Structure 1
Amino acid sequence: MTSVTTTAATELTVRDPRDGTLVGVLPAATEEQVRAAVETARAAAPGWARTDPAERGSLLRAAADRLAEHAQELAELNARETGKPVEESLGGVMAGVGTLHQYAELGPVHRGHSLRGSVLAADWTVAEPRGVVVALTPWNDPVAVAAGLLGAAVVTGNTVVHKPSERCPHTGARLGEVLAAALPPGVLTTVDGGAAVGARLTAHPGVDVLAHVGSTATGEAVARAAAATGAHVVRENGGNDALVVDDDVDPAWAAEQAATGAFANSGQICVAVERIYVHRAVAEPFLAALTEQARRRNAGGIAPLVDERLREEVHRQVAESAARGAVVLEGGRVPEGPGAFYPATVLRECTGSMPVMQEETFGPVAPVQVVDSFAEGLRLAAADRYGLAATVLTGRIAHAQQAVAELPVGTLKVNNVFGGAPGGAAQPRRASGAGFGYGPELLDEMTQVKVVHVEMPPAGS
């Protein structure tokens, strides 16, 4: 394994969001250590690019197997750093194992295309690794997301410098140790740190790809850095995903869908339901059922947010929205006691000017606006600066088709807030990012195409 040993004074202190106890302290990488990490990856890149694709796939498969062996350890560490329940954390780790296995199979068969030209010549394209990839990954599903970016980059012949979120640095560091032990030296390096370390990585002229999953503000900073260095950018950033409820659906079922979308993982999911538009004809039974869903979750004990900083932001949005006229049906208060807990919250009488409708909340909040028609719901859902995903609940095929045509998002789900086939990939739009961040198409993002033309020289030459 290639590691960056940090000795800088700047430290990352992580506390368990469930009770505030200390998880650990890690030093952040210095400027010199960041530079060394990129240089190590750059030095290893030519040899790794020349490695037979089948061998790269085999080594990635071995890395996936090592990850499976350490799954429980990583799940427990993740739970301590982020508050995500151990069983859910374990599901994320195993999803990462599956993703690595998927790329181990797809990588060796990722290829160019033959081109049709002169019958006396040969034309084709070759997919070549881009070089050094910097992967900046989030805390809300740290192993699964990292596995996708790291796996796709490594199997296509790139070397990687990975910076996990400063909110789960121990999980990220251990993940790096587990995976890098199965790979040649220099292929995968992990560095810990906060925004300063990320800025140094993204500004480094020796980086060829910047792959980022996280906030829109950071993603925009990554894009600006790439404009100066020429690095290729893949980024999935914030979302403010809408749910539109038609008048012909069962309101109790629709409330279950809304609750799942808004409250799963305490709302800390990139494609969580962030704003709800419900048809007036079913609004009252829908709101009653959604409020009951929130009460059940609160009575059963909802997991904490990742830290008190996020809780303060979530509550700010709720409190400001309530001050502007939103009615709190459930939750909406910071509980007493230790930890970063926040209750499942339902708001009605919301309007588009309120923070809970305008901003990505990233907490267990379900803000509801009543609309007079499905068309009005679509119009309001589309009027947003983000373009990650959206869901519509309707029994009318014409309305589903209308949603496909009118919602400017990368992913549209009809009648299932978290539905989707395995291997799916979408391109987020506008403030939500750009490029394919998942699926087989991510292999294309990690490579660049060379066109080759070969023909015989003239006779007698």
Structure 2
Amino acid sequence: MSIDAQVHTPRAEQDEQSIDIRNPADGSEVGSLRCATQDEVTAALGSARAAQPSWAATPPAERGAALRRAADALRGGARELAELNTRETGKPLGDSLGGIEAAISTLEQYAELGPVHRGLSLRGAVTATDYTVAEARGVAVLLTPWNDPVAVAVGLIGAALVTGNTVIHKPSERCPHVGELLGRLLQSSFPDGVLTTLTGAAAVGRMLTEQTGADVIAHVGSSAAGASIARAASVTGSHVIRENGGNDPLIVDADVDPAWAAAQAALGAFANAGQICTSVERIYVHRDIAEPFLTALAGEAQTRSASGTFPPLVDGRMRDAVQAHVSDAIHQGAQCLAGGATPTGPGSHYPPTVLTGCTDAMTVMSQETFGPVAPVTVVESFEEGLRLAAAGPYGLAASVLTGSIAHAQQAIAALAVGTVKVNAVFGGAPGGSAQPRGISGAGFGYGPELLDEFALVKVVHISSPQQGA
């Protein structure tokens, strides 16, 4: 389906639906986009299937060159795309631009890594040759989120395309205009049918994942949606890569500076209004420093709230969900030290919130809140904090603030998550990757390992023919 053909305000057919978006900062209208129909989804899958053999046969260096052209196109449209992202999702403009810069860098990295994505030689008989080759899986369906819509989408798109797959991308229904513009910027760098963007809500996602046609599905989003996709793939046979929800803990040990620890906790819980997959979702602080830590954390929240620049939540539905978690905690006995109430006025703003006296029976501790909430449990020992942090069905990431190498090593061993961060709630080397666990997903979502996820390995054995007598 043509990218340009997706933008419609009127609906000519009864089975078409549109997505209407309002700016979460002030409630103003951003625009309306038409959702793809079943016929358009089927056509897109067919076009991607038809284009895939030729794209896979394209020399890897040429595929890498196409990614570099796409990076240049993205660089040229960065400002427009960032401003649209800010209007559509509320993401601060600087963060929006940062996400696009990361996306450009990722395309350039994959442009280099793709042509050197190599197999292995195997040792066998002297007169035989054994080796492995990586082959594209085929058609890749990519379902991407709204909280970092360019960087996440482009990482998956770049890895899938450079390994010879064709791509159908469905951006989140919470940022369809960003997804549409991103697709328009990238599409001209590739042959027809190689990259298609489809706009739609959950129904379009189901059309793409529940019918035969996708060889690989990559999903970044909620655990519930990821589980549904995995169930569908067990029928269709699609390979699934999932980075799903997290309920990431932060353990604050007794031997760290409480003000520094509070600043780290605030960064982890409040950055992008808490709408980051690896946000700090629950905090376990040692009693020895709990009082100054909580005082400093409440101050961090109040400073952000008073700044006038704290970003909104993506929409009213998300704000209602966050408030429900906070209200449940307070009803069960938690004390609110900052924030905790939905403000009046336009948009979907919610203040940075600090809760203490929290227990694991509270929803705010047991589930992903995905908002600017820092719920705190005071513990008597590092071991108690580690035990509580390690509990639960999620397995995305965890953070530990400690001056003890022994405690850091204990945490690394005990926490069943894809990423353990010691003394920094965010950060990591370029090209890093991780495998989520539990209901947080499966498979590598980033880095060089993502190329392996989008490829199949074929083993080749060549022997010498038997000579006649």
Give the TM-score normalised by structure 1.
Answer: 0.99
CA contact (8 A) 2:3 2:180 kept: no
- On the 8 A contact 1:274/1:366 being kept in 2, the answer is yes
Separation in 2, partners of 1:10, 1:66: 30
Report the AA paired with residue 369 of structure 1.
T
- Cα deviation, residue 5, structure 1: 2.9
Tell me the equivalent position of 2:31: 24
Q: Secondary structure at the match of 1:17?
A: coil
**CA distance, structure 2, for counterparts of residue 170 and residue 198 of structure 1:** 17
Task: State the match for 1:438 in structure 2.
Answer: 446
Aligned with 2:428 (options 391, 402, 420): 420
Is 1:453–2:461 an aligned residue pair?
yes
* Other structure's SS at 1:5 match: helix
The equivalent of 1:396 in structure 2 is 404
1:235 aligns with 2:246: no
1:245-296 C-alpha deviation (Å, 9 max, x unpaired): 0000000000000000000000000000000000000000000000000000
For residue 353 of structure 1, the aligned residue among 344, 348, 361 is 361
Work out the CA distance in 1 between the residues paired with 2:213 and 2:323: 41
1:109 aligns with 116
Matches within 5 A, 1:339-378: 339-378=347-386
Aligned counterpart, 2:286: 279
Answer yes or no: is the 8 Å Cα contact 2:325–2:369 preserved in 1: yes
- 1:263-342 alignment runs, 5 A limit: 263-301=270-308, 302-342=310-350
Structure 1 partner of 2:155 = 148
The offset of 1:138, in angstroms, is: 0.1
Q: Secondary structure at the match of 2:374?
A: strand
How far apart in 2 are the matches of 1:206 and 1:238? 26
Residue of structure 2 in register with 1:202 after alignment: 209
Flag structure 1 segments of 5+ consecutive residues without an equivalent. Answer: none
Q: Deviations over 1:287-323 (max 9, x none)?
A: 0000000000000021100000000000000001100
Query: Is 1:137 matched with 2:148?
Result: no
Alpha-carbon shift at residue 26 of structure 1 (Å):
0.4
How far does residue 2 in structure 1 lie from its aligned partner after superposition? Answer: 4.7
Query: How far off is 1:460 after superposition?
Result: 2.1
1:236 Cα deviation (Å)? Answer: 0.1
- Sequence identity (%): 65
Give the residue type in structure 2 aligned to 1:383: A
Q: Secondary structure at the match of 1:375?
A: helix
CA distance in 2, matches of 1:119, 1:288: 71
> Are the counterparts in 2 of residues 277 and 370 from structure 1 also a CA contact under 8 Å?
yes
1:117-266 to structure 2, matched below 5 A, reads 117-266=124-273
Residue equivalent to 2:3: 3
Q: For structure 2, which runs of at least 5 residues remain unmatched after alignment?
A: none
Structure 1 counterpart SS, 2:178 = helix
The Cα shift of 1:4 comes to: 7.4
Question: Which letter does structure 2 place at the counterpart of 1:3?
Answer: I
Cα RMSD for the two superposed structures: 1.0
Distance, in Å, in 2 between the alignment partners of 1:217 and 1:354 is 19
SS at match of 1:369: strand
Alignment of 1:90-105 (within 5 A): 90-105=97-112
User: TM-score, normalised to structure 2's length?
Assistant: 0.97
- 2 CA distance for matches of 1:420 and 1:399? 20
Stretch moving more, 6-15 or 242-251: 6-15
Q: Deviations over 1:69-116 (max 9, x none)?
A: 100010001001001111111111111111111111100100111011
